[in-house]
Amino acid sequence: MTASPVVLVAGSLHHDIMIETDHLPRPDETAVGRRWYPKFGGKGGNQAIAAARAGASARMVGAVGQDDFGLFLRATLDRAGVDHRFVATLPDHGSGMSVALTLPDGNYAATIVSGANLALDPATLADPALWQDVALLLLQNEVPEAVNLAAAAAARQRGLPVLLNAAPARPLPEALRSAVTVLIVNAVEAAMMGAGDVQDLPSAARAAGHLARPGQAIIVTAGGHGLALVGADGATLALPASPVTVISTHGAGDCFCGTLAAELARGADLPAACRSASLRAAAHVAGWQI
């Protein structure tokens, strides 16, 4: 562990367009929203900023287009103190973006257009400077599988832990699954991986047990119910969520993952890191700034 350990995030960057509306439109319906606003997004970018806000040194590897969206994404990373020297600007691709509809109860639905994120070159992960002072690697599923495989292999060659937030859900190749130190999934992703429906803490614990492997920790998050953990040693933890008034659930999972990575990079054990990350995610859902 270095004096200033770095959380390295390899992942997506999206310019989000947020729309507040009373309901999701049905097919052929034009729904009327109340307001819209731009927001920094992409699971990779969100998690890098969450790690920085949780006190870690955060470094981002990703890709944006040579456009106004790309400038916005870089400027936001810069303001948050995230090292974005390894974010490529690709002139032949538009930046990633999404449109998210936010409902009055705080739930949301979104559609993403990945753009430059899908053109990120796995060879970027071979740069030795990228790995200077890195304590752990954090991945998600919004960049090509080849990028995650290259990143995980480079991290394991250096003896570094690999955290994978397997979102959105997609089949995981064995080479990636076996390289992961901590696998993080939500209820939907757990079900899509064959772990059954997750509707509460007991079912989250069953799902975590189903997905568990020797030597690999599994975290199943269950939204407002909390999370279930099976550690690499088989130890279990069921952690209820902090009761808060929901303002918006958008980005809560990314807040959790980034904070978890920051806590682990500072040397916390996994149960303690889960507790800290859960508290920050609850604060995020409630609209608090901590």
Residue 71's pLDDT is 97
Residue-wise pLDDT tens digits, 166-223: 999 899 999 999 999 999 999 999 999 999 999 999 999 999 999 999 999 999 999 8
pLDDT category of residue 1 using cuts at 50, 70 and 90: very low
Q: Taking 80 as the threshold, does the pLDDT of residue 42 lie above it?
A: yes
* Residue 158 three-state SS: coil
Q: Taking 70 as the threshold, does the pLDDT of residue 54 lie above it?
A: yes
Question: Distance between alpha carbon 32 and the CA centroid of its chain, in Å?
Answer: 30
Nearest residue to 282 via CA among 164, 142, 106:
106
Averaged pLDDT, 260-286: 95
Residue-wise pLDDT tens digits, 63-88: 999 999 999 999 999 999 999 999 99
- b (16+ CB within 10 A) / e for 241-273: bbebeeebbbbbbbbbbbbbbbbbbbebebeeb
Residue-wise pLDDT tens digits, 213-235: 999 999 999 988 999 999 999 99
Averaged pLDDT, 112-126: 95
Residue 254's pLDDT is 95
Which string of DSSP letters, residue by residue, matches 215-261?
TBEEEEE-GGGEEEEE-TTS-EEEEEPPP---S--TTHHHHHHHHHH
Q: Taking 70 as the threshold, does the pLDDT of residue 282 lie above it?
A: yes
Q: Which residues pair with 236 in a beta bridge?
A: 230
Q: Taking 50 as the threshold, does the pLDDT of residue 2 lie above it?
A: no
The whole-chain average pLDDT of the chain stands at 93
Q: Which residues contact 269 (CB under 8 A, 6 or more apart)?
A: none
| Whole-number Cα distances in Å, 198 to 184, 226, 227 | 14, 11, 10
Find out whether 226 and 205 touch, Cβ atoms under 8 Å.
no
Q: Taking 80 as the threshold, does the pLDDT of residue 58 lie above it?
A: yes
Q: Taking 90 as the threshold, does the pLDDT of residue 109 lie above it?
A: no
pLDDT category of residue 244 using cuts at 50, 70 and 90: confident
Q: Taking 90 as the threshold, does the pLDDT of residue 237 lie above it?
A: yes
pLDDT category of residue 32 using cuts at 50, 70 and 90: very high
Residue that wins the pLDDT comparison between 160 and 245: 160
pLDDT category of residue 14 using cuts at 50, 70 and 90: very high
Residue 242's pLDDT is 85
Give the chain's domains with CATH numbers: 6-25+33-285 (3.40.1190.20)
Q: Please give the angle made by the CA atoms of 35, 40 and 42, to the nearest 5 degrees.
A: 115
Between CA 143 and CA 154 the distance in angstroms is 16
